[in-house]
Structure 1
Amino acid sequence: MPRPALVRSVPPLSTRRPLGVALAAGVTVLGLALTGCTSAAPQASSTPTAGGTLTYASGDAEPTCLDPHVGGNYPQALVSTQYLESLVSLDSEGTVIPWLADSWTVSDDGLTWEFTLRDGVTFSDGTPLDAAAVQANIAHLQDPATGSSTGYLALAKVTGTEAVSDSVVRLTLAQPDGALLESLSQPWLGIESPTALERSQDDNCAAPVGTGPFVVDSWVKQNAITLVRNDDYTSPPADAEHDGPAYLEKIVWRFIPDSASRYAALQAGEVDVIDNAQPDTIAQAEQSDSIVHLDAPRPGASNRIELNSGKTPFNDAAVREAFIRSANVDDAVASLFQGSAERSYSALSSVEPLGISRPELFDYDPAAAATLLDDAGWSEKDADGYRTKDGVRLTVVFPVSTNQSIPAEQSLFEQIQATAKATGFDVQLTKLDLSSWYTALGSNAYDAVSAPYTKVGPDVLRILFHSDGITPAPSGYFANHAQVNDPELDSLLTLADQTNDADERSALYADAQDLILEGFYILPLYDQQNHFLLGTAVQGARALPTVSTPTFYDAWLNR
C-alpha cells in the first residue's frame, strides 16, 4: 500500500499567535474579472476552445539557463512549469497528490522510499519515463558540475538510487526526511529526459526536454522563449481539469522588465498575462472589467530582511533588535502597497499552516532602539548624526537586487533607511543586477539583505537557518544569509525534519520559529508576492499549489 500523503494542516501551538487564515496559493480556475484580491476566479461556463497563442510578459530576470536543475531560481521555475513535470504535486489543501509517480511507499525507519511511475509516459524526445530516468535526474542534480542550489539542497539526504524495476525507483536516505515529498513536488526537481541530459550543459540550458504539455521550440535571448504544444502529452497532475494535450497551440514568453510597459502591453492586448504586477497597477486592474488579478503568495518563507549575524555590527543581538525597532515597516507597507500586501510578523508565509506570528517583537520603537544601542556601546554620534563605537560608524551595507525587488519594495527599503537613520544607523543601499548581487552575497559583502527563497513547507526553516546552510552549494549559493549558528536551533530543525508525527513536528517548528524571531535574525515584511494580471480572454489558467507558478495546461483563449 502507498504511504498516506503528507498533510500540512496541523494548527500552530495555542500559546503562540497563529498566522491569519489565507487563501491557498492556487485553487480553482481563473475566469471573470474580480474587484478584489483573490487566488482565483470562477470557471467560465463556455466550452474550451483548442488553438491560439498566449503571450506572457515577465518582469522577473530572464534566466541564464532554462534547466532549473542548474542554479534553481524562481524565474526558471516560472517558465519550466510549462515543460517539466515532477514526481508528485500538491492539491489546494496542501496534500501530496500523484503526478509522474502513481504511488509511493516508505520504510518504517524512513530511510527507504519507493516510487511507482505512471505507465506509458514518454519525454517529448521519445525517451520513456522509467526508473533509470529518475536515477539520471537525481544524479544530475547532485553532480557538483551541474551547479544546482535549490534542487541540490532538497536532495541532501539522498545517498543512493536503485531501479527496482522499469517502473519502480528506490531512494536511499542517510537520515529520515519528513519533507521529501514536498521537496520532490518543486519545479527545480522537475524530471528531464536522460537522453537530453547527456548533451552539453549549454545545449540543455537552451532547450530542456521534459514530459510536460509544452516543448521549448526556440529562445531568442533578451526577447522571448517560444513554447509549442506537445501533441503526445499524457501525464497531467491528479488535480488537472482535463486529459490529453493542452488547448493552447503556443506560448510566447516575453521579458519586459519595466512594470509600466508590461501593464500597458496588457491593456493594449499585446500580451495576455503579466507577472510582478505593481501595487498601483493592481489597484487599477481591480477597477477594470477586462483584467483579472490572481494573487498567489508563495509558500515557505515570508519576505524578510536578514541580518548578517556572522560579523559586526549584527553579531550583537541587541544591535539586531535595535535595527528592527528602528524600522517603521507597518506604515511603509500600508502606504506603498495599497492593500496588495499585508505586514508579516513571521518567518513563514501565511499559506504555511505551521507558521507562528509574533507582532510584539517588531513594534516600531525608536526610543527602545536608542536605549539598546547605548547599552551596546554605540553611544557616540558623528557629525552626520550616525552612531559610532571606538571611532567606527554604525554602518549597514544593504545590497538590493533590482531584478528581484519591485519598485515598491525598493521604496520600502528607502523608508527603512530613513527611519533607521533617525536612530543612528547608516544604511547603505546599493542597487545591483542579479549577478552582482549574488557576488556580494558570496563574498560576504553585506550586513542586511532581502533574499527570496521558495520551498514548499516549513522545512524551508532548515534550509534558511540551520548552520549547515552557511556552507555554499556547488553553485556557490548559500541560503543561511543571516548566518545563524545556534546548536539548539540546529537540533530543533533536524528533529522536525526527521519526524512524521504531526504534533511533534508542529511543536518543534514552533520552538524553532521562536528562537529565530526572538533572536532578531530577520525583519519580516510580507508574503513573497506573486501577483499575476490576466486579460479576461484567458480562461482556465491557475497557479500550481506547489510554489505558486502559473500553469497553462488547462488554459484556453476565449476570443
Structure 2
Amino acid sequence: MTATIAVALVTVLAACGSNPAASPSQNAGAPVSGGNLVYLASYDNPDFQWTDVNDWEPGIIFSALVDRLVYWDAESSTLRPWLAESWTANPDSTQFTLKIRKGVTFSDGSALNAQVVADNLTIKGKGDKALGIPGTYTWPAGFESATVTDADTVAVKFSRPAYGFIRALTFYHSGIVGEKTLKLSFQDSSDIKNLVGSGPFVFDSYTPGEQYVLSRRKDYNWAPDGVGHAGPAYLDKITVRIAGQNSVRTGLLQSGQADVMRDVPPADEQRLGQTGFTVLPAKQIAYSVQIRVRPNSAATADVRVRQAIQHAVDRKELVDTLYFTGIWKPATSVIESGVPGWVDLSAKLTTDVDKANNLLDQAGWTARDAQGFRTKDGQRLSFLVYSVSWIRQSQPELLLLAQQLKKVGIELTVKNVDSNNETAAVGAPGVSLSISLGSVPTVSGPMRNNFHSAVTTSWFNSGALAKDAELDGHVDALSNATDDGTYTKAVGELQNYLIDQAYVIPLDTNQQTFAVAKKVHDLNVDAYGRLFFCDAWLSK
C-alpha cells in the first residue's frame, strides 16, 4: 500500500523505498463520503502541459486528474498495475508490451483504448513539433514507436536498451490524457480547463492566484491495484487554496480554515506536531538536494578545486542549523535511498577542511587577498550561485554554505532573482554552481539528459565544457543496461564517479513535509511525495 496519513504520531516505516507515515488512527471508523478538503499550496503555477508538468503544486493537482499506466508503491517498492493491467519486456529491454485495462473512461466520456495510449506514448517519446510539444525528459533515450497490436495491446520499441521504461511510466507527467487534449498545442494543452484525464477528480474552476476547485468523478472505478479502494473518491471536492507566505498557511491550518498544508517550515514542524496536527515527512524517488558544478571555468575545470568544495561542505551543520527537527538528514549520495541502484556513499561525503586546503594549495590557489580569499594570478577564487524559488530553503542553505567555503578561502556570492528569470540567470555562462534537486523515476534518462556531453542543451554541458569521456562512458553503460545486475552496477559506478569528480556535491535529503488536520484520514502519498487523494476522507 501507499504511505498513509492518519492522525496519530509519526512513525517511520522500515520497508525499502517507503515513505515515513503516520500510524493509523485507532478510532477513525469506516470512511465517510462527502466534504471539501482544503489543501494549501505555497504558490500558483498554472502550467499543466501533460508531457512535462514537473512543478510541485501543479504536479499534485495534475495527479488528481490524470491516471498513469503503472503505480509505484512506495512502501513495498513494487510496481502495480493501473491503466496498464500487465506488461512484458524482451531480454534486452528494447521492446515492451502493455496490456491496457478495459472499462476505463476519460472525463469527457471517451473510452481509454490501446490507440489513445499509443498516441500518448508517441508524443511523450518524440514530442510533436507541429504542436510545439516536447518529449518527456525522464524517459530513457532511444524511443522509436508505440503501435497498437490489438484492441487492448500496445507494443513499444526503443533503438537501445530502455531498462527503466516501465518505472518511467509511474511518474505523473507520464499520465495518460484523452484524445481531445492530444490534439492541442503546447499553449492550449497547458490550460487546466483543456486537461482531459481519467483520474478520480475533474477540474471544476480556477481563480488565478487564489484557488483551484476539483470535483469527484462519480463513475471512477480503476484505482491502482492494491492501493485502498477502487471506486469513486470519498471527497466531494478538493479546494487548492494559494497562500504564499508560511505564516499565512500555518494560520489558516491552525484556525480550521484548511485541512492540509505543504511546505511546512522546519520551525513549525514540532509546534504543529505538538498541537494536534500530523506532520508527515514524505521521502521521494529523487535526486538529493545538491550543488552541481559545471567545469566551464579555469577553476571548476580543475578537479582539485571541485573536490576542495566537496570536502569543505559540512552537511551535518547544514541539517542541524536549518532542519533541526530530526526529520531531515544529510545526503548520502547523488540520489535518494529509495531510488533503485542507490549506494550509500556517506564515507566519501565527510567534512575535511585540511584536505580541502591542501587540494587548493596543489591547484595553485595559494595567495590570499585582504579579505582572506584565495587568489591566483590576481584573480579571486570566487563563485556566484542563485537561490531558487522551487527549493524552499535554498537561500539560507546557500548562505550557510558560503560561510563554510570561506573557511578554506573560497568566496561564494549568493544572489536572488525573480522567479520568472531564474532559468536564464542560473544558465548564464559565468555561473558554475547551481543548487538543484528533482524526481528520478528512472535514473538512465535524467542522468543522460543532465550529464552526457551529447546533450548540449543541459545546464552541465552548456558553455565551454571539455568532454569527459569517462563520464560519458558511465552514462552510456547505464543507458545500455538490460537487467537488474547491469543496471545496478552502472548506477553505482556513476554515483561514485560524480562524487569522486565532484561534479555533484550532495547536501541533504530531498523530501517534503505536510501538516494534516485531525479530521483528515487515509490521505496517501505516492513514491514521488505527491498527495494521492482517492482514499482520503473527512470526519464529520
Q: TM-score, normalized by length of structure 2?
A: 0.91
Tell me the equivalent position of 2:155: 170
Deviation at 1:435, TM superposition (A): 2.7
Q: Alignment partner of 1:29: what SS?
A: strand
Deviation at 1:485, TM superposition (A): 4.5
The code of the aligned residue for 1:293 comes to V
Q: Alpha carbons of 1:35 and 1:131: their partners in 2 closer, same or farther (altered >3 Å)? A: closer
Tell me the equivalent position of 1:486: 468
What do the CA deviations read for 1:77-127 (whole angstroms, capped 9, x no partner)? Answer: 222111111111112222211000111122234222121111111110112
Tell me the equivalent position of 1:306: 292
Q: Alpha carbons of 1:232 and 1:346: their partners in 2 closer, same or farther (altered >3 Å)? A: same
Aligned pairs for 1:378-417 (under 5 A) are 378-401=365-388, 403-407=389-393, 409-417=394-402
Tell me the equivalent position of 1:18: none
Tell me the equivalent position of 2:8: 33
**Structure 2: distance between partners of 1:314 and 1:201:** 37
Q: Alpha carbons of 1:54 and 1:405: their partners in 2 closer, same or farther (altered >3 Å)? A: same
Q: Alignment partner of 1:415: what SS?
A: helix
Tell me the equivalent position of 1:466: 451
**Structure 2: distance between partners of 1:394 and 1:148:** 42
1:495 pairs with one of 451, 455, 477: 477
**Structure 2: distance between partners of 1:484 and 1:223:** 47
Deviation at 1:447, TM superposition (A): 1.6
Deviation at 1:146, TM superposition (A): 6.1
**Structure 2: distance between partners of 1:458 and 1:318:** 27
Is residue 71–residue 150 contact of structure 1 (8 Å, CA) maintained in 2? no
Tell me the equivalent position of 1:116: 99
Tell me the equivalent position of 1:520: 502
Q: Alignment partner of 1:438: what SS?
A: helix
What do the CA deviations read for 1:179-213 (whole angstroms, capped 9, x no partner)? Answer: 00110110011111111232344443222110000
Deviation at 1:542, TM superposition (A): 0.9
1:440 aligns with 2:440: no
**Structure 2: distance between partners of 1:148 and 1:356:** 35
Aligned pairs for 1:2-17 (under 5 A) are none
What do the CA deviations read for 1:367-404 (whole angstroms, capped 9, x no partner)? Answer: 32222212212122223222222222211110110x22
Tell me the equivalent position of 1:556: 537
**Structure 1: distance between partners of 2:299 and 2:197:** 47
Deviation at 1:310, TM superposition (A): 3.0
Is residue 396–residue 427 contact of structure 1 (8 Å, CA) maintained in 2? yes
**Structure 2: distance between partners of 1:494 and 1:347:** 18
RMSD: 2.4
The code of the aligned residue for 2:98 comes to F
**Structure 1: distance between partners of 2:282 and 2:466:** 29
1:100 aligns with 2:100: no
Q: Alpha carbons of 1:201 and 1:516: their partners in 2 closer, same or farther (altered >3 Å)? A: closer
**Structure 2: distance between partners of 1:148 and 1:549:** 24
The code of the aligned residue for 1:350 comes to S
2:523 pairs with one of 529, 541, 554: 541
Is residue 300–residue 457 contact of structure 1 (8 Å, CA) maintained in 2? no
**Structure 2: distance between partners of 1:433 and 1:41:** 41
Q: Alignment partner of 1:301: what SS?
A: strand
What do the CA deviations read for 1:147-185 (whole angstroms, capped 9, x no partner)? Answer: 666823415321112111222111111111110011011
1:182 aligns with 2:167: yes
- Point out where structure 1 has 5 or more consecutive residues left out of the alignment: 1-25
Tell me the equivalent position of 1:90: 72
**Structure 2: distance between partners of 1:65 and 1:465:** 23
Q: Alignment partner of 2:498: what SS?
A: helix
Tell me the equivalent position of 2:335: 348
The code of the aligned residue for 1:471 comes to T
The code of the aligned residue for 2:262 comes to D
Q: Alignment partner of 1:406: what SS?
A: coil
Q: TM-score, normalized by length of structure 1?
A: 0.88
Tell me the equivalent position of 1:22: none
Q: Alignment partner of 1:371: what SS?
A: helix
Tell me the equivalent position of 1:11: none
Deviation at 1:256, TM superposition (A): 1.4
**Structure 2: distance between partners of 1:76 and 1:457:** 21
- Point out where structure 2 has 5 or more consecutive residues left out of the alignment: 13-19
**Structure 2: distance between partners of 1:485 and 1:535:** 52
1:72 pairs with one of 54, 60, 80: 54
Is residue 94–residue 157 contact of structure 2 (8 Å, CA) maintained in 1? yes
Tell me the equivalent position of 2:303: 317
Deviation at 1:431, TM superposition (A): 1.5
Aligned length: 525
Structure 1 vs Structure 2: percent identity of aligned residues?
Answer: 25
1:234 pairs with one of 193, 196, 221: 221
